[in-house]
């Protein structure tokens, strides 16, 4: 990948979009992962105001440490950076008590709580974005957003712009190396950080990002019969997740009303 050209294109795109929208810049949620690190760096490179928000909810200490190592790295390179921590653990705890759902009765309760974490962070980003005159910048990549739908609808999927959504995860890592981000970010194992126990993306999905990318690049041109062995296993994972994620990937369905029925 021509990383310098890609970087320049995204930075210019972000700057032009913000100026056309009449806003001061962008706000980015910082997780300690490579996606948010790359996106926040690209936002900083626009020269526009860039606010970095770290929002722990029972967060792994290693994630918090990586997030602030990256934030300090950017603050040392750019003078347009603002950063803050908003501890959402108490708010999440209050929500959990208010919901008062029995996990034995509702088997999807833990997944619903994981998604609630992402949606609480989205709410927080939009609050701070609005009071500072900033757009919420998404951090989803091509595999997550348009391949397997590995994100929370109206959570980390609730954003104003998605600058890296046309980049595969491996390409995001290429940009991280090109931008010379801190080593801990470049070497970070992908995880969504939405569970009390550490679960990597690969453990949750059942496949690595390079494996998924291979299938996505061939999606629509090959069928199940074209694969065997591990490729077939990954194809079935991708196919199942892609099908289940169509409600995220496709625009919200609208029930059309015939014009002759109006008035």
Pick from 25, 73, 67, 86: nearest CA to 50: 25
Residue 61: per-residue pLDDT:
87
- Residues 6 or more apart whose Cβ sits within 8 Å of residue 14: 26, 42, 43, 46, 48, 137, 161, 163
Is the distance from CB of 144 to CB of 168 less than 8 angstroms?
Answer: no
Residue 189: per-residue pLDDT:
85
Pick from 26, 28, 12, 109: nearest CA to 67: 28
Q: How many CB atoms lie within 10 A of CB 188?
A: 22
Pick from 158, 66, 62: nearest CA to 118: 158
Residue 190: per-residue pLDDT:
84
Sheet holding 81-85, edge to edge: 81-85, 49-54, 25-29, 134-136
CA atoms of 129 and 137, how far apart (whole Å)? 10
95-116 pLDDT per residue, tens: 999 998 887 888 899 899 999 9
Query: What average pLDDT does the chain have?
Result: 94
Residue 81: per-residue pLDDT:
98
9-36 pLDDT per residue, tens: 999 999 999 999 999 999 999 999 999 9
CA atoms of 4 and 7, how far apart (whole Å)? 5
Q: State yes or no: pLDDT of 198 exceeds 80.
A: no
């Amino acid at each position: 990948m021509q990383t310098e050209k890609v970087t320049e294109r995204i930075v210019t795109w972000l700057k032009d979009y913000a100026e056309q929208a009449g806003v001061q810049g962008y706000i980015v949620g910082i997780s300690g992962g490579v996606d948010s690190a790359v996106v926040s760096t690209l936002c900083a490179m626009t020269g526009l105001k860039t606010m970095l928000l770290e929002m722990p909810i029972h967060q792994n200490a290693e994630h918090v440490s990586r997030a602030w190592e990256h934030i300090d790295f950017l603050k040392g390179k750019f003078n347009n950076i603002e950063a803050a921590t908003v501890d959402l653990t108490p708010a999440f705890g209050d929500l959990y008590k208010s919901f008062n759902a029995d996990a034995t009765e509702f088997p999807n309760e833990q997944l619903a709580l994981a998604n609630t974490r992402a949606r609480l962070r989205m709410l927080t980003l939009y609050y701070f974005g609005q009071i500072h005159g900033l757009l919420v910048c998404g951090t989803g990549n091509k595999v997550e957003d348009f391949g397997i739908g590995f994100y929370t609808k109206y959570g980390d999927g609730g954003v104003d712009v998605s600058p890296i959504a046309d980049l595969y995860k491996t390409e995001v890592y290429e940009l991280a190396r090109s931008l010379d981000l801190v080593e801990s970010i470049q070497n970070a194992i992908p995880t969504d950080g939405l569970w009390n126990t550490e679960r990597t993306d690969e453990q949750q999905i059942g496949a690595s990002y390079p494996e998924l990318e291979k299938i996505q690049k061939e999606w629509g041109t090959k069928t199940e019969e074209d694969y065997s062995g591990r490729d077939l296993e990954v194809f079935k994972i991708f196919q199942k997740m892609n099908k289940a994620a169509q409600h995220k990937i496709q625009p919200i369905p609208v029930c059309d009303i015939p014009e002759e029925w109006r008035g």
